[in-house]
Amino acid sequence: MLFDINWGFVFTIVNLLVLYLLLRHFLFAPIRGIMEQREELIKGQLTSAKEKEDQAAALQKKYEMTMAGAGKDAQEILEKARDRGTTEYDAIIKEAKQNAVRIMDEARRDIEAERERNLRLLSSELAGLAVAAAEKAVDAQGGAFDEEMMDAFLKEEGVLHD
């Protein structure tokens, strides 16, 4: 009896095969599907994280370039402000010098005008004194005084001005 089959053993094997097939169909396939979905989700998240990391690196590089440009811009603004300040300073100094020259010229003219006025007053007083002295001298001699002749003489000598 070589082929004496133990039906209990065969039945157990058949039961195991059926159980395996049922488990494979109803348990392992859905679990494998879930695991594949999880794997795809994780791969997607890793890809998304890598893209965000690349974007962050690009933004950081752009920020650094912007900051370097801002430094240059700030330097240019400072240079322009310095240039404008120097220009305004020079203009103010030039205007102040022009005003000083104008004030000095006006002062010189005023001084010259005052000098001329004082000279005229002095000449006029001197002429008056000379006339008074001449009148006294003429009166002392008993002669008549000619005022016009005296004015002509003083003008001729440069003492009396018109």
pLDDT score of 127: 76
All residues at 6 or more sequence positions from 155 whose CB lies less than 8 Å from its CB, including other chains? 161, 162
pLDDT in tens, 63-76: 888 888 887 888 88
pLDDT in tens, 28-50: 888 888 999 999 999 999 999 99
pLDDT score of 146: 63
Mean pLDDT of 89-97: 93
All residues at 6 or more sequence positions from 151 whose CB lies less than 8 Å from its CB, including other chains? 127, 160
User: What percentage of the chain exceeds 70 in pLDDT?
Assistant: 82
pLDDT score of 1: 46
> Does 35 or 1 have the greater pLDDT score?
35
Q: Per residue, what are the HEC states of 49-70?
A: HHHHHHHHHHHHHHHHHHHHHH
pLDDT in tens, 130-155: 777 777 777 666 655 566 666 666 67
Q: Could you tell me if 127 and 154 are in contact, meaning their C-beta atoms sit under 8 angstroms apart?
A: yes
Q: Could you tell me if 131 and 150 are in contact, meaning their C-beta atoms sit under 8 angstroms apart?
A: yes
Question: Which three-class secondary structure state does DSSP give residue 123?
Answer: helix
What's the CA gap between 33 and 37, in Å, rounded? Answer: 6
Is the pLDDT score of 112 beyond 80?
yes
What's the CA gap between 83 and 75, in Å, rounded? Answer: 12
